[in-house]
Chain A
Amino acid sequence: MRPLTPKRIIGSCAILCAVLFVAVVFSLRTGAYPISIRDIVLTLFHGIIGRRDQVPSEFWSVVFTIRLPRIALAILVGAALSTAGAGFQALLRNPLADPYVLGVSSGAALGAILSLIFAPHTVGAIQVAAFIGAGLTIAAVYFLGRRGGQLDSATLLLAGIVAASFLSAIIMFLMTTITGHELRGMAFWLMGDLSAPPPASNVLGWFGFLFLAFFIAAGAIYSTSSDLNLILTGEQEARHLGVNVNRVKLVVYVAASVLTGLAVSVSGAIGYVGLLVPHVMRMLFGSDYRMLIPASAIGGAVAIVFADMLARTIVAPTELPVGAMTAVAGAPVFIYLMRRRVR
């Protein structure tokens, strides 16, 4: 009998963080301007201790102005999607659930497309509109997904699927009305794309806001992880053991939806990561949610940083949308995992 301890969680997360750091360094090296790994590490080090004068200015601008914001976005999106995916898999008691199954991404896409039509040149409009679209969808699915005043997994799943297909139909309809450059932008966005520059002049503040929102929502899910372990062995049994199932479901639903909305609003709908990363982490670290939530967050960050690096290099200088990359890599991994489960 070897129960999970905080020490083991921290140890595993430290290993994953080291992997993430390596991925970040390699991703920073990738691009048109050549820069050695040694220089990247030195630049990062001096950046962290605030000694800008020690670094050549071109290194500084390549690392901190051009490449790092995009990588930070990749980390945020990967962490948010994977945490949300793990949360939805427990909430819906369905291992095939992903962050988009309840229609949040379709709501966000509708918001984004509407902003492209009505406010095509406003900076930040697309992100704000997408987040509003996601929020409205979350609320609508919540009210449709209740049964007897409580969230019911099966009803919620049906409500989400119906909402997603309804919204997709509207999106298809609207897509026919926009043309040319905007259509291409929209297609990139629907697939998932990290190339959009931060919509705020204060980049540090923008990322501060995003990561703060991430930590609040992910922390809310983490606070229910003992309860989720019990809910996964049976909702009724969890109630008998004293779990306030209704409260837990509400917290996880809202927090996981907000995480999804956050990720989709800044990057579009990047597929497969939120579904696959929690499963890979289960295989590596077990299915205990106290371990799974942080492991998924860091693992998701690694996955998207890596996918984005490939998307930028495979047919350089042309960039592939990162969502196409995760789908191409994700589908075979998913099939492999599925076959393994069947045994």
Chain B
Amino acid sequence: MASSQQAVAVKDAAPRLRVEQASFAYSATDRSAPAFSLGPISFEAHRREMVSILGPNASGKSTLLRLIAGVLRPLSGRIEVDGAEVTALEMRLRAQRIALVSQESELLFPLRVWEYVLQGRYPYGRRLRFESSDDCVLAGNALAQVGADPLRDRWMDQISGGEKQRVILARAMAQQPSLLLLDEPTQHLDIGGKLELLRRLRRLADENRYTVIVVTHELNLAAEFSDRIVLMHRGKCLRVGAPAEVYERGLIEEVFEAPVEVEIRPSGRPRVVLRG
């Protein structure tokens, strides 16, 4: 993929994430043809970079994210984080490097916000563990960084959707990962919440040297905040590159099956507008 090769600017030396010809297939049954296949896909992400994975529904975005997280094993190809193949990493070691923020499931028993965030410290230390004061400091810092400090003693089921999103992000940060993956984190947020979350992710990438990978439907917010876009369509990766390289009118119209106009803003970042 030529554009991805070009986009690998000479930032920090080695890439933090390297996806190399990775492919995957879901099959309905073991014997039938695959119901859905993905890839092969290649791209890289570096320290302090924010990458958005875009594409219509069922284009394979979440599957790609789960491959990167090591939840799924690629059928072929390699996925490396800091030079180590993700599926070869021991589970807890992997959780020290990669944090995945997904749609949260319902809690069975009530839990306080601080207890939830402390769970992010699980990958460190022994299996049966008691949290140390260091763990508490780290969890407290994570809560402060997402501006959720005042929520600390509230119950998880008594905070709003936007607050919950921040708390889940804080737990992921308590994991001290190098790679932060988010699966449609903007889904249940209002427009202000979306903007605030992406700003926060951008800041985390810049200041904490995280590599942030976001699956999202928000074309314009992704263009505004991402260093790189991975555009997916029907399990194929159509293009990888800076927003301005990927947001071509013809390409976007084909992928999203909607008439659009693409304009370049003064900042140099593109903006997609629906044609009426």
A residues with a Cβ closer than 8 A to B are: 1, 3-6, 93-95, 222-227, 229-230, 232-237, 239-244, 282, 287-288, 290
B residues with a Cβ closer than 8 A to A are: 69, 71, 91-96, 99-100, 102, 104-105, 107-111, 114-116, 118-120, 122-123, 127-131, 135-136, 139-140, 152, 175
Q: Given the complex of chains A and B, what is the CA–CA distance between A93 and B107 in angstroms?
A: 10
Q: Is the CB of B99 within 8 A of A240?
A: yes
Q: Given the complex of chains A and B, what is the CA–CA distance between A330 and B215 in angstroms?
A: 49
Q: Specify the chain B residue showing the minimal Cβ separation from A5.
A: B130
Contacts of B122 in A (CB 8 A): 226, 230, 241-243
Q: Is the CB of B71 within 8 A of A225?
A: no
Q: Is the CB of B102 within 8 A of A233?
A: no
CB distance from A296 to the nearest CB of B (A): 13
- Of B92, B130, B136, B175, chain A has the most CB atoms within 10 Å of the CB of B130
- Tell me whether A241 and B123 are in contact in the complex, defined as CB-CB below 8 angstroms, given that A3-B131, A233-B107 are known contacts: yes
Q: Given the complex of chains A and B, what is the CA–CA distance between A31 and B104 in angstroms?
A: 55
- Of B99, B110, B122, chain A has the most CB atoms within 10 Å of the CB of B122
18 new A-B contacts at CB < 8 Å, known A232-B107, A239-B71, A241-B123: A3-B115, A4-B131, A6-B130, A223-B128, A226-B128, A226-B129, A232-B108, A233-B107, A236-B102, A240-B69, A240-B99, A240-B102, A241-B175, A242-B93, A242-B94, A242-B96, A287-B109, A288-B115
Q: Specify the chain A residue showing the minimal Cβ separation from B127.
A: A226
Which of B108, B130, B175 lies in contact with A290, CB distance below 8 A? B130
Q: Is the CB of B111 within 8 A of A290?
A: no
Question: Can you spell out 15 A-B residue pairs with CB atoms less than 8 angstroms apart?
Answer: A1-B114, A3-B118, A3-B130, A226-B129, A232-B107, A233-B116, A239-B71, A239-B91, A240-B71, A240-B100, A241-B95, A242-B91, A242-B122, A287-B110, A290-B128
Contacts of B100 in A (CB 8 A): 240
Which of A93, A233, A243, A290 lies in contact with B91, CB distance below 8 A? A243
Q: Given the complex of chains A and B, what is the CA–CA distance between A288 and B129 in angstroms?
A: 12
Q: Given the complex of chains A and B, what is the CA–CA distance between A231 and B157 in angstroms?
A: 17
Contacts of A3 in B (CB 8 A): 115, 118, 130-131, 135-136
Q: Specify the chain A residue showing the minimal Cβ separation from B132.
A: A3
Contacts of A282 in B (CB 8 A): 109
CB distance from B139 to the nearest CB of A (A): 7
Contacts of B135 in A (CB 8 A): 3
Which of A4, A225, A236, A244 lies in contact with B105, CB distance below 8 A? A236
- Of B92, B110, B127, B139, chain A has the most CB atoms within 10 Å of the CB of B127
Q: Is the CB of B109 within 8 A of A95?
A: yes
Q: Is the CB of A233 within 8 A of B95?
A: no
CB distance from A141 to the nearest CB of B (A): 22
Q: Given the complex of chains A and B, what is the CA–CA distance between A244 and B127 in angstroms?
A: 10
- Tell me whether A232 and B104 are in contact in the complex, defined as CB-CB below 8 angstroms, given that A226-B128, A240-B71 are known contacts: no
- Of A5, A232, A243, A282, chain B has the most CB atoms within 10 Å of the CB of A243
CB distance from B32 to the nearest CB of A (A): 16
Which of A1, A93, A225, A230 lies in contact with B119, CB distance below 8 A? A230
Contacts of B139 in A (CB 8 A): 1
Q: Specify the chain B residue showing the minimal Cβ separation from A282.
A: B109
CB distance from B151 to the nearest CB of A (A): 12
Q: Given the complex of chains A and B, what is the CA–CA distance between A287 and B109 in angstroms?
A: 7
Q: Given the complex of chains A and B, what is the CA–CA distance between A243 and B91 in angstroms?
A: 7
Q: Given the complex of chains A and B, what is the CA–CA distance between A233 and B104 in angstroms?
A: 8
Q: Is the CB of B108 within 8 A of A1?
A: no
Contacts of B108 in A (CB 8 A): 93-95, 232-233
Q: Given the complex of chains A and B, what is the CA–CA distance between A236 and B91 in angstroms?
A: 13
Contacts of A5 in B (CB 8 A): 130
- Tell me whether A237 and B102 are in contact in the complex, defined as CB-CB below 8 angstroms, given that A1-B152, A226-B129 are known contacts: yes
CB distance from B175 to the nearest CB of A (A): 7
